[in-house]
Amino acid sequence: MPSSASVFAVRAIGADVLALLLAATCAGCDAPETLLCASCRLRIRAHPVATSTTAGLLVRAAMPFESVPARCVRRLKDEGETRLAHPLGTALGEVLRSALEGRPAGEVAIVPVPTSRAGFRRRGYRIPELLIRRAGYAPRRLLRVRRTTADQRGLDVGSRARNVRGSMRARSSGGLAVVLVDDVMTTGATLDEAARALRVAGVDVLCAVVLAATPRLSERNAYASETRSK
């Protein structure tokens, strides 16, 4: 029979868990007592968008970076809510499977864009790698950051490209084919730098897959698709 002390400890843990659940709010709409309400969960399912970086790298995004998806990504990145990595990773996984379709298992490496040392110290985890694992794949670290860059927020297209140019280095892996993965794409400057470093190392970069792309890129691509279909 459990001692009164052990019963008390179990009850205390249960009370703490209940308090945590009651304090939670939906990452998408702030509805109380839930991490993600049913309506917002539907909003972060994969709605694939095909676009490209300024250098012409093909990019497949699982969803546009706006509204509910943007709030969920920010909660994951800025507030440490790693439980959101599961539904977000599921959406990413759908696009990854599409990108890998027709290729034998294990033939293509899934390479995350590297996280800066400061970003890793601040969060304690690497977001692209976490999303890849939640998508059901194993990330392969071929890239590393070789120098610190300025915050990309607020920079225009040209400034973003100059800011990250030469900031990454890749391990030599001649003949290997890879799909690059990142969390959010704005202009694609970071993806272009990652692709450049990999190609210098002899790697064949097939395309990039991101969780979300900014509305500007998504809308531009959607308009182009509609135009081609008319």
Task: Give residue limits of the domains in the chain.
Answer: 1-43, 46-229
More confident residue, 40 or 189: 40
- pLDDT score for 15: 42
Strands 168-170, 177-185: pairing is unpaired
Average pLDDT over residues 203-209: 96
More confident residue, 230 or 148: 148
Least confident of 28-42, 161-175, 191-205: 161-175
Domain 46-229, architecture per CATH: 3-Layer(aba) Sandwich (3.40)
* pLDDT tens string 97-156: 999 998 887 889 999 999 888 888 899 999 999 999 999 999 999 998 875 654 555 555
- pLDDT score for 220: 45
To the nearest 10°, report the CA torsion of 24, 28, 32, 35: -40
- pLDDT score for 230: 33
Query: Which band of pLDDT confidence, cut at 50, 70 and 90, is reported for residue 216?
Result: low
Average pLDDT over residues 31-38: 93
Looking at every residue in the chain, the average pLDDT score rounds to 81
More confident residue, 227 or 39: 39
Query: Which band of pLDDT confidence, cut at 50, 70 and 90, is reported for residue 76?
Result: very high
Average pLDDT over residues 48-66: 93
pTM of this prediction exceeds 0.75: yes
Average pLDDT over residues 46-53: 92
More confident residue, 79 or 226: 79
Per-residue pLDDT at 16 exceeds 50: no
Per-residue pLDDT at 17 exceeds 70: no
